[in-house]
Structure formats: structure tokens, C-alpha cells
Amino acid sequence: MEPFTRVTGILAPLDRVNVDTDQIIPKQFLKRIERTGFGPFLFYDWRRNGDFILDRPAYRGASVLVTGANFGCGSSREHAPWSLLEAGFRVVIAPSFGDIFKSNSFRCGLLPVEFRECLLNGWDEVALTLRDETEIARYEADRSTELPRTA
Amino acid sequence: MGRTMAAKIWDDHIVAAREHEPDLLYVDLHLVHEVTSPQAFESLRLNHRRVRRPDLTLATMDHDVPTRGGRAAADELAERQMSALEENCRREGIRLYGMGNARQGIVHVIGPELGLTQPGLLIVCGDSHTSTHGAFGALALGIGTSEVEHVLATQCLRQRRPKAMAITVEGALPLGVTAKDVALGIIARIGVEGGRGHVLEYRGSTIRGLSMEGRMTVCNMTIEGGARAGVIAPDDTTFAYLRGREYAPAGDQWDQAVDRWRALATDPDAIFDREVSIDAARLEPYVTWGTNPGQSVPVSGSIPAPSTETDERALQYMALEPGTAIEAIAIDRVFIGSCTNARLEDLRVAASVIRGHRVHPKVRAMVVPGSASVKRQAEAEGLDALFREAGFEWRDAGCSMCLGMNPDILGPGERCASTSNRNFEGRQGSGGRTHLVSPPMAAAAAITGHLVDVREFN
């Protein structure tokens, strides 16, 4: 496996959440007995429909993929990280990953970086939580008055 | 399917749960101290926010308070932190038990002794040893300063649901084996990252047989096994400890609370993600030889041959040779203190070993009670006189040499038998060498001047 020391390259955005491994590499391409030969079929169905963002000239040769939450959910196929690697990606940045995809990635040389939504959007986490003010207030209203207080 | 105790507490505190997001949990008790809070308060101010629930927040000073000479002995930076905490608490209406207050002490000692730490609560504090409070069947999480700010502003915490691990310890503890040794034995077994991502539930007859003080010691060290939190089911021992304490429920509310608390126990058909069983009969008094709490051997043993580079580095730092008998290791200092082992029971046990003896002339030994209240009670029992007459320094309450943020530190190369929780490089002072032990083992070492098996001491 190529040692992971530094990645310099183009960053490609894929603005979708819950990208499952069936999308990353569809089932019909899983029949190989080698770990190679999957790169050309990365996101096969999406690419086939034309104007897929990763096919735009600006993102040709990209090595970092930035995407939405729960990337790599679904099937455990390690062909998903293999196909990303073969297509030139070394890093995937997402708010969260499918557990198995994440663990597969570490094992085959693809770095999954969890990048919380707050950071992605520059949100202040307190502000984000305060959008749940109604829920917090409701919880407080239902909370037993017998619980201890410091003041 | 049944639920574990930790899952029940978790579920009871969910304010909002959404797919692919951490749960939003309501915090019942937020403990605050001077070191991890100033930046949180500053950020609140800059964002024109206030503390949402000062009535669920309690502050004390512990991490860098001097343990002799009073506040005047604090260095400039410590004084700044203490003043900042006073100002922040005053502005936000948070109750503060600061230096000189009768209720001041190590945050994880005072929560329980005030009766604030209760079963079923979600407790947070900007300190990793918050796990201590799990001894009462509370879910207690250590958090960082950004999270402290978040809790101050929203009384909520965002967390992903942890996994559950059962640590079952069965059987009577052999003579000379304490709760500290149970904790060190567990860490030796699961490793310093064995608990990562889990809440540990300590169960079994050994755990049920421990006093609340002992249970706190075990839960305190949970973080040294890498786990998120540790819990122990509340029982009659828990209720007896809590009853009558300042913030504990009273009257009719007491009985209702006990009913509620009894229902917290893990359901018989609940499933743990991982289970570990430990036979208490095989536990011994342990001594750490390296620079993480997992590197320990029984006191009757010797320094092991290094099997990894980490071991080699640790031995080099500790200036120890493989094959050396633990009991042949001479010490310079003894520290009896910290949120792990500075409650009244710990001091009593140490005192019982010391009675009739004197501290070895080459050893400098100190006792730092966990709280002002522990100090008063110990003095009422005459323990202070016993320690002093034996040659120990008797100090005021604080974290002290557990982490060496105040003037209590080891000098370079000094070797210390310590009842604290971390033997990391430089933790107790740059170049200092820490051997983690139980309070009776520390007391015995103070007298003989070297690490010694407390079972053969008296």
C-alpha cells in the first residue's frame, strides 16, 4: 500500500448525502477477482447520465472528494474504496461515513476524514443547537422539578 | 429487548435525535472549574449569550489552587484563573465554592459529598475524570472547553451514542487488594484504549461489595482504559451514602427518588457489545512501572522485559532495568491525594498503615485531602495529627501533584509512589517518575523508602 504522507491535488465536490456503495460501484462490476479494474466504473450510473460533476474538466485528476453525510453507507463491498482509489482519490471528506466503508477505507489506503457540518458551513455549534430551542424548552418543561438544583 | 443502564439514562435525556446527527442530550448537572472554563465564558460574552441554567451549574476551584499558604501562594496565572472564575460566576449567577469556602474541593469529590451526584443524572464537566460520578449510576461525561461553552449556553450536549461494555468482577477481594487495584487490573486487562467508544458498566459481586468511595475510584480510572464513561448500578450502598446529604432529596421525595433509581439497573435481557470477566481472587496490589496506566505488574513481581518500542521508551524514562524486583525500587516522594484516592476512606486506610511508624528519612511525603470537607472530617478523627507526627505534610484540598499545575511538583528524576491516576511522562513535574499505587501501598512505601508489598508490611 502506498504510504500516506501528503496529498496535494484537486478537490472535487459531490453535493449529495447518503451516497451508498451501490452508487459508488454498482453490483455488475463486482465480478472481478482482482483488487483492480474498478476505477473506470466509479459512480457508473451517475456518469452514464451525463454532466456528472466529477467529469467536468475542472475536476479531472481530483484526489480529494468532499461530500455529504453518511458517505459509503449500505453494502460492505470494499470495491467502493478500491474504485475511488483507482480513480485517483486518496481522501474523502464528509460529515460522516458508513461504518464499514470507513473501516474498509483505512485498510486499503483511502483516508476518510470526518468533517462536521458545522465546520463545513462555518456554523457556530451553539447557534445550531439553539435552533432546537423549542425542543429544549419542551424537555425542560417536562423535566421533574425534584431533580437537584445548585442554586 | 432490554436496555443497559447507560442506554436508559441516555434515552431519558434525548432532546432531539436525528438520523446521521449526534443526539442532543439534556444536562442535569454541569460542574465547572477554573482551568477549562475561562475561554468558554469569554466566548459566551463575545456572542452576547448567557448561561441558560445557572441553577444546574456548580463551580469550584481545584486544579491550580495552592495547597498551603492560601490564595496568596498562588502564582500570577493561577490567580488570574481563579479571579476569572469568580467574575464569571458572579456575572452569571453560578454558585461557586471557591478557595477558602467550606465546600471547596476537587470537583469530583465535592459533587458526590454534597449529594448533587445522583443516580440517573447526566453530568458533565470539563475534565476527563468526570467518569468518577458514574459510581452512583449517573452517566458522567468529560468534555472539552467548546462543549463547556455549548452546555453553558444551551444546557445540552451533542453526543453520538456509545457502545456498551460489561466488566464483571466476581469474588471477594484478597487481603491488601483495594478498589485502586481493581481499576489497575481492569486497565491491564483491556488496555489503555480497550474501552474506546464504550460506556463501561462495572458489575458483579466484587463491585457490589465496594463502598461508594471504592466505586468512585474504579469509575474514576475508567478514562484511563480509554472509555467514554463508567457506570455502576445504584443499590442500598448508594442510597445509604446519599441519604441526608445537602442536595439529596428528602422526605417523601426521598422514597420516590429511590424507586426511580432502582429502575435504572440494566435489564436482564439487555445485550452488551462486549463483555469482560475478571476473577477478583487473582487480583493483587499493582504498581505501574511505565508511563501509561496499563503498564503495571503485581507488587510481588519485577520490571518486565520490554516487548515494544513504547515499553522501551517507558523504561528509559522511568530509569528502570528489566528484571528489577518492584520492591527494590527506592522512592523519593509519596503523594496521597487526587480525585482517584483522596476521600476520607482513602485517608483512613493510609493512616492505618502509618500508625506507629515514621516516614523514611529520604522520603518527602504529603497528604492532600480531596476536599475541605474531607480535611475537616479527617482532622476531627485525628488523622492529620497521625500523618503529621509520622512526618507527612498535611495540606489543603486540591488536585495538587496529581497534575502538578500548582507548586506541588516532582523535581527532575524524582521518583514518586502516587495514589493518583496518571503516570504520563512529566505529569507530576518535568522529568518526574510516577508509580501509581493504592493508598495503603503509598503509605507503606513512605515508611520503607521503597515500593513494598503492603500485605507483608504490618
Predicted pLDDT at A148: 96
Question: What is the C-alpha to C-alpha distance for residues B28 and B247, in angstroms, rounded to an integer?
Answer: 13
Q: Which three cell numbers stand for residue B325?
A: 524486583
Per-residue pLDDT, averaged over B74-92, amounts to 96
Per-residue pLDDT, averaged over B124-144, amounts to 96
Residue B455: closest CA among B438, B437, B445, B441: B441
Question: What is the C-alpha to C-alpha distance for residues B139 and B298, in angstroms, rounded to an integer?
Answer: 31
CA distance B55 to chain A (A): 5
Residues from chain A that touch B112, judged by Cβ atoms under 8 A, are none
Predicted pLDDT at B446: 98
8 Å CB contact of B55 and A149 = yes
User: In order of start, what are the domains of chain A with their CATH numbers?
Assistant: 11-115 (3.20.19.10), 122-151 (no CATH)
8 Å CB contact of B155 and A140 = yes
What are the beta bridge partners of residue B286?
B298
Q: Does B40 touch chain A (CB under 8 A)?
A: no
Do residues A110 and A81 lie in contact, with contact meaning Cβ atoms separated by under 8 Å? yes
8 Å CB contact of A140 and B256 = no
CA distance B124 to chain A (A): 14
Q: Does B224 touch chain A (CB under 8 A)?
A: no
8 Å CB contact of B20 and A129 = no
Residue B316 buriedness (CB in 10 A; 0-12 / 13-18 / 19+): exposed
pLDDT tens-place string over residues B330-348: 999 999 999 999 999 999 9
Per-residue pLDDT, averaged over B202-212, amounts to 98
pLDDT tens-place string over residues B269-310: 999 999 999 999 999 999 999 999 999 999 999 999 999 988
Predicted pLDDT at B328: 98
DSSP letter at B451 equals -
Residue of B nearest to A133 (CA): B154
Residue linked to cell 477505507: A105
8 Å CB contact of A125 and B158 = yes
CA distance readout (Å), B367 to B356, B387, B436:
17, 8, 15
CA distance B429 to chain A (A): 34
Where helices occur in B93-228 by DSSP H, the ranges are 107-113, 145-154, 179-190, 205-208, 212-220
8 Å CB contact of A132 and B156 = yes
ipTM value, please give it.
Answer: 0.85
8 Å CB contact of A150 and B153 = no
Q: Does B93 touch chain A (CB under 8 A)?
A: yes
3-state secondary structure B295-330: CEEECCCECCCCCCHHHHHHHHHHCCCCCCEHHHCE
DSSP letter at A28 equals G
Predicted pLDDT at A120: 67
Residues from chain B that touch A150, judged by Cβ atoms under 8 A, are 29, 54-58, 94-95, 116, 247
Predicted pLDDT at B108: 98
8 Å CB contact of B150 and A125 = yes
Q: Does B192 touch chain A (CB under 8 A)?
A: no
**Which of the residues B19, B21, B116, B154 would you substitute to probe the A interface, choosing the one with the greatest number of A C-beta atoms within 10 Å?**
B154
pLDDT tens-place string over residues B17-44: 998 789 999 999 999 999 999 999 999 9
Q: Which three cell numbers stand for residue B394?
A: 498535611
- The count of C-alpha atoms lying within 13 angstroms of the C-alpha of A128, restricted to the half-sphere facing its C-beta, is 17
CA distance A118 to chain B (A): 11
Q: Which residues contact B220 (CB under 8 A, 6 or more apart)?
A: B108, B129, B131, B132, B183, B339, B340, B421
Question: What is the C-alpha to C-alpha distance for residues B336 and B342, in angstroms, rounded to an integer?
Answer: 7
Look at A116-125, B165-174, B352-361 and tell me which has the smallest mean pLDDT: A116-125
* Torsion angle of C-alpha atoms B58, B60, B62, B63, degrees rounded to 10: 70
Q: Does B116 touch chain A (CB under 8 A)?
A: yes
Predicted pLDDT at B302: 98
Question: What is the C-alpha to C-alpha distance for residues B47 and A52, in angstroms, rounded to an integer?
Answer: 41
CA distance A13 to chain B (A): 20
pLDDT of A1 higher than 80: no
Question: What is the C-alpha to C-alpha distance for residues B169 and B186, in angstroms, rounded to an integer?
Answer: 9
**DSSP β-ladder status, B139-142 and B23-26:** unpaired
CA distance readout (Å), B442 to A33, B62, B71:
61, 22, 28
Chain B residues 45-84 within an 8 A CB cutoff of chain A: 47, 49, 54-58
Distance of CA B15 to the CA centre of its chain: 29
Q: Which three cell numbers stand for residue A30?
A: 463486482
8 Å CB contact of B15 and A132 = yes
DSSP letter at B21 equals S
8 Å CB contact of A95 and B153 = no
Where helices occur in chain A by DSSP H, the ranges are 21-24, 44-48, 79-86, 99-108, 117-121, 125-130, 133-142
Of the partner residues B95, B121, B150, the one whose CB lies closest to the CB of residue A126 = B150
**At CB < 8 Å, which residues of chain A contact B?**
17-18, 69-70, 95-96, 124-126, 129-130, 132, 135-136, 139-140, 143, 146-151
Cα-only R_g, chain B: 21
Question: What is the C-alpha to C-alpha distance for residues A139 and B56, in angstroms, rounded to an integer?
Answer: 14
What predicted TM-score, i.e. pTM, was given to this entire model? 0.90
Of the partner residues A136, A146, A147, the one whose CB lies closest to the CB of residue B155 = A136
For chains A and B, count residue pairs whose Cβ atoms are closer than 8 Å: 76
Residues from chain A that touch B56, judged by Cβ atoms under 8 A, are 149-150
**Which of the residues B13, B14, B23, B24 would you substitute to probe the A interface, choosing the one with the greatest number of A C-beta atoms within 10 Å?**
B24
Residue percentage of chain B with pLDDT more than 70:
100
pLDDT tens-place string over residues B220-235: 999 999 999 999 999 9
Q: Does B154 touch chain A (CB under 8 A)?
A: yes
Predicted pLDDT at B306: 96
Do residues B239 and B118 lie in contact, with contact meaning Cβ atoms separated by under 8 Å? no
Residues from chain B that touch A151, judged by Cβ atoms under 8 A, are 54-55, 93-95
Residue B204 phi/psi, 5° resolution?
105, 165
pLDDT of B458 higher than 70: no
8 Å CB contact of B116 and A135 = no
Per-residue pLDDT, averaged over B402-417, amounts to 95
> Treating both helix axes as pointing N-terminal to C-terminal, what angle do B344-354 and B212-220 enclose, rounded to 10 degrees?
100
Of the partner residues A139, A146, A150, the one whose CB lies closest to the CB of residue B56 = A150
8 Å CB contact of A125 and B146 = yes
8 Å CB contact of B29 and A148 = yes
